[in-house]
Chains A and B, each alone.
Chain A
Amino acid sequence: MQRPAPLLAAALGLLLAACATRPPADDPDAVAEFRQNNDPAEPFNRAMLDVHQGIDRAVLIPVARGYRAVVPQPVREGIRNVLGNLRTPVILVNDMLQGEPRRAGDTLGRFVINTTLGLGGIFDVAATRFDVHGHTEDFGQTFARWGIGEGPYLFIPILGPSNPRDLTGSVADVAADPLTWFGQGVAVNALTGSRAGLTVVHTRETLLDPLERLERDSLDYYATLRSIYRQRRQAEIANRLDGAAGAAASGTGFGVGNQGR
């Protein structure tokens, strides 16, 4: 996915201007919670969630609904598998960088099997026939395993909940993707663009119901999203979510780690 650099620069500028007020030191409970939330830029982040929801309601949700209405479930499943298969090279690199030869072997095996027997990744035969299930990895998780801290919580429109570590990680994910550097010309650009667009639309479709329910049921959607994102990331980094069924219906994290299962 292309990341709009000017938007990011503008956002960072705003970020410096809008910081949450730190609670007074004589209220240790409040200070502890402030640290726990890890969200010094909360007012800015809340504004960014509003921006996101504007775009979401105007564009992403209608498009995702249309996609759901037009593309039947088995075809969407195939699309999910193809997108997941295209992500495996990046997962493989990260398995190796994390020193996980077994998981790297799984990922490599899945890529070979699904690309061939799975007809270019349309069918996840590795999981259904060979019982080798997918897992997700990304550079954000690898950085975490290397001991790099997450930094303050950030909410980025379209991309969703993040932090400097995971944001840098997603840039590295794009850079490490062989398809980013593969060939050139109109056809290749069109394919890369379609893949990026399809990933956004497909991911948003899988999150239509969970996010709608979450927003409806939460007394503070922003705080709930933040808490879920940070907990889920910790579980992903510790590889505690492997084998968890229904991964597509993850509560949040649009964009991060949803593909490749």
Chain B
Amino acid sequence: MTCPSRRMALRAALVLPLAVLADRAVAQGGDIARASAFIQQTGQDLVAAINDTRAPLAERRERVAAVLRRAVDIQGVGRFILGRWWRQATPAEQAEYLRLFEETLIRNLSSRFGEYQGVRFSLGRTQQRTEDDVLVNTIIERPSSAPFWMDWRVAEVGGQPRVVDVIAEGTSLRLTQRSEYSSVIQRNNGQVSALLAAMRQQIQQMAAREASGAR
């Protein structure tokens, strides 16, 4: 006859891992649902700001900026993109870089208000869990151009879902930008300041386009 406590221990040993697995599956399902809802909300906020043609340009830009500051892990993504040069930059350069990076992100969108007029946004076919984040698939539709898929990589940052990357046509924005920025620094003898100068100039160009392209 088997000892009951041993049987219980055996049962516990069998059931416990299953319970842990089930628990993790629930957590992952929850993650996916949470990330999808987060992207849905973020996308709607952005689309609303872009399509609100009655508001003055500066106000629309400020609305887009507020959404991006809330939704994107600007610190984390910025540091990832600067990569190995982050440690070589002075604290002043690091701070200036993050400021310019944020500005670039915002102006990149606001300089395209005209182009994105009438944009529509919806959740796509699949949402999947990867090792440490969730990929949320969306469809971006614009009048008079073909719709395209865009994946948003959502990670938990400080307990909150945050966008850490966008992927279109198999291309990750943060990987491409990392390659681009690193190349600029490298071709200027490892000077981070050269990148900062190039970013400043780029922001000016975007601001000019924004002013001319806006309705």
Contact = CB atoms under 8 A, between A and B. Distances in A.
Given A29-B84, A244-B149, A246-B147, A251 B183 contact: no
A228 interface: yes
Interface in B81-139: 83-84, 108, 139
Contacts of B84: 29-30, 32-33
A250 interface: yes
B198 interface: yes
Interface of B: 83-84, 108, 139, 145-149, 169-172, 175-176, 179-184, 187, 195, 198-199, 202
A231 B176 contact: yes
B7 to A, nearest CB: 48
Given A235-B171, A244-B169, A245-B147, 10 more contacts: A30-B84, A33-B83, A219-B199, A226-B179, A227-B180, A228-B176, A231-B171, A235-B169, A249-B145, A249-B146
Contacts, number: 76
Interface in A203-244: 217-220, 222-224, 226-228, 231-232, 234-236, 240-241, 244
A219 B184 contact: yes
B169 A223 contact: no
A228 B146 CA distance: 20
B146 A246 contact: yes
Nearest to B125: A243
A117 B35 CA distance: 44
The dominant DSSP class at the B interface is: helix
Contact of A219 (B169, B175, B181): B181
A37 interface: yes
A1 interface: no
Interface residues of A, number: 30
30 contacts: A29-B84, A30-B84, A33-B182, A217-B108, A217-B202, A219-B180, A219-B199, A219-B202, A220-B183, A220-B184, A222-B183, A223-B179, A223-B182, A223-B184, A224-B179, A224-B180, A228-B171, A231-B170, A231-B172, A232-B170, A235-B169, A235-B171, A240-B170, A244-B170, A245-B148, A246-B146, A246-B147, A246-B148, A248-B146, A249-B148
Nearest to B182: A33
A127 to B, nearest CB: 13
Contacts of A249: 145-146, 148
A232 B198 CA distance: 26
A248 B202 CA distance: 27
B169 to A, nearest CB: 6
A227 B148 contact: no
Given A231-B175, A244-B149, A245-B147, A250 B169 contact: yes
Nearest to B112: A213
Contacts of B199: 219
Contacts of B169: 232, 235, 241, 244, 246-247, 250-251
Interface string A71-93: 00000000000000000000000
Nearest to A238: B170
Contacts of A234: 170
Contacts of A224: 176, 179-180
A43 B26 CA distance: 52
A248 B169 CA distance: 10
Contacts of A29: 84
B144 to A, nearest CB: 10
Interface in A121-165: none
